[in-house]
Amino acid sequence: MEKEEDKYAKELEVAVRVVHVACALCGRVQERLLATTNDHVVAKDDDSPVTVADFSVQATISWLLSEILGVQNVSIVAEEDIETISKDESASLLEAVVNTVNESLAFASKYGLQCPETTLGTPEVLEAIARCNSTGGPRGRYWVLDPVDGTLGFVRGDQYAVALALIEDGKVVLGVLGCPNYPVKIEWLNYHYQHHQTMPESSLKTPDTGGKGCVLYARKGSGEAWLQSLIDGDNMLEWPNCARLIRVSSIDDPALATLCEPVERANSNHSFTAGLAHSVGLRKQPLRVHSMVKYAAIARGDAEIFMKFAKCGYKEKIWDHAAGVVIVEEAGGVVTDAGGRPLDFSKGMYLEGLDRGIIACSGVALHEKLIDAVYASWDSSNL
């Protein structure tokens, strides 16, 4: 009989390696993006931005997972489809994606992964993107991918994440979160945040580029979450010896706790969050961060609380939370909806039945205080 700790061993190792490849891809694209006016940023039908990196990461991870695990064994729920990139006006974007995918796959062997025998053409790249057409649900095994979570942060040179999770019968069983701009040393994040108040986001740089970026991962039920520095491919051959255990913060005094919340106001109610923070005694200014880096901050012990209360009509997508939730939980944290119930990933592409919002905490004591505060404040919130 297969040991529990070995059940997803191959999938986890493959997932960690492909996320490292994706992070390297994103780093190269972001550098070019910030250095040129030919930025290849377009708007989707909902006016949200999408870049070369979004499509390239999705195609690269889709191709690698399918080749390594077998096309028949890989089902993927992902954010991007080929509708935007297939339009005539997106021809230059598509060309850039094809080139970027081939550039990244050429280096896959440095991460212990197989490279394609020949250069992928446009049809093969579009097929890899389109293959991510699963709609999820309560049965079977499928991957959940957000190729670039926090695209606004990405195009501004700020925080973003590559998020990959595996779901089986509606339950998240493993998660990998790549955070290319999230420094390994917390004091560098503080440097970034302090300067964020007075400087344009695109001008922010970590004081020392060494150790910039990390990949976090966890398997459900293991009670362990791990962190690797974002490293060059040659060192990935020694995986997982280059990883270290991480744990949530032990702070349970609200006055000492740090709150993370989304930067954008479009789909998060900052005023209600601020009211909750005040009512439970949070005193620190909130740390507003793009993307699932907020989950990484809690899992690493750099922050204690993440709250998000979406405005009426907004539906949370599973790819925005799956990887982060399992990593926080295995690092010792608690993640529920605002009614105190576990998040339900079995309903398809959306977190259907979500009770008001999402609350992630480093510990039970802070979590219970926030849940109580939601119940006390909700009727007067106008949400």
168 belongs to an annotated ligand binding site: no
Q: What is the pLDDT of residues 222-257, one digit of tens each?
A: 999 999 998 766 656 566 667 899 999 999 999 999
Percent of the chain with pLDDT over 70: 85
Confidence of residue 58 (pLDDT cuts 50, 70, 90): very high
* Same CATH fold assignment for domains 4-246 and 254-380: no
pTM: 0.91
> CA–CA separation, 258 vs 303, rounded Å?
5
269 φ, ψ (degrees, to nearest 5): -95, 95
219 φ, ψ (degrees, to nearest 5): -115, 135
Active-site annotation, residues: 54, 151
- List the CATH code of the domain at 254-380: 3.40.190.80
| More confident site: 193 or 273 | 273
> CA–CA separation, 36 vs 364, rounded Å?
47
Orientation angle between helical segments 91-105 and 122-130, nearest 10 degrees: 90
**Beta-bridge partners for 306:** 260, 360
Q: What is the pLDDT of residues 125-167, one digit of tens each?
A: 999 999 999 999 999 999 999 999 999 899 989 999 999 999 9
Q: Is residue 254 within 8 Å of 280, Cβ to Cβ?
A: yes
149 belongs to an annotated ligand binding site: yes
pLDDT of residue 36: 78
Handedness of CA 190, 148, 350, 315 (dihedral sign): positive
Mean of pLDDT over the chain:
87
> CA–CA separation, 230 vs 215, rounded Å?
6
And the tokens for 283?
A: 């005193």
pLDDT of residue 339: 93
79 belongs to an annotated ligand binding site: yes
The mean pLDDT value for 349-368 works out to 94
The mean pLDDT value for 98-120 works out to 93
**Beta-bridge partners for 228:** 215, 243
Report the DSSP pairing between strands 334-337 and 42-43: unpaired
Least confidently predicted of 58-72, 73-87, 102-116, 237-251: 237-251
302 belongs to an annotated ligand binding site: no
Each domain of the chain, given as residue ranges in start order, spans 4-246, 254-380
- Asked: is 4-246 a CATH 3.30.300.30 domain? The reply is no
